Amino acid sequence: MGPFFSYIFLGLSLAAPIGPINAAQLDKGIKNGFWHAWLLGIGATVADALYMILVYFGSLHFLGSDFMKTFLWSFGAFVLIYTGIESLMSAGKIVQSKKTKNEPVLKCFFSGFILSLTNPLTILFWLGIYGSVLAKTADAYATEQLVMYSCAIFIGVLSWDITMAALASTFRKYLSAHFLTVVSILSGVSLIGFGFYFGWQAFQLLFS
């Protein structure tokens, strides 16, 4: 079982670096609580699973074209900047949001799914890291073990999703409204920053 847990740890390591999904999860958890943050993460994880399947079956090469990369960088920039601006505009409504109806959880799921699906870094991540792990593992193990270790990576990603949702909802319960507003603003700025980075990458691809 040692290798299985090492692959779970790999999944945790893949999901843990601060990026658009973690920033968005933190923002949703602070504003709406655990379930909204968790479902946003689940949406992102479903997109991750889709890319894992594409890598597993060797069908990801078509996303490597300049046209597809430019499209994904551009659309990802739009989604991130829009989400960041929305976060900034609602940052001062954290106290009121506890007393009013929360946004639909299904919207959070699709937000996470689109954020991850349109993130070219996700593609590069799974293609580069999972692809190389897959190639190495395929040489040493049978197909059944390959599937089992792929599931272990996915378990690691899901575990980080639950951790982020719990962390964000804990912030919501125990920290002051002023501090939560500041964190929400920082999350929004972070998302916009990632959006401009994506836009710059699209610009470079388009005019290079």
Q: What is the mean pLDDT of each run of 10 residues along the chain (208 residues)?
A: 75 70 82 87 88 72 68 80 79 52 78 84 68 63 75 86 84 70 78 86 84
Nearest CA to 202 out of 47, 60, 62, 76 is that of 76
Quick one: pLDDT at residue 39?
Answer: 92
**Cα–Cα distance, 24 to 27 (Å, whole number):** 5
Q: How many residues does the chain have?
A: 208
Q: How confident is the model at residue 176, as a pLDDT? A: 65
- Continuous H helices in the chain: 2-15, 20-32, 34-56, 66-89, 94-97, 105-117, 120-125, 131-140, 143-174, 177-207
- pTM of the predicted model, to two decimals? 0.70
Rounded Cα distance between 167 and 159, Å, is: 12
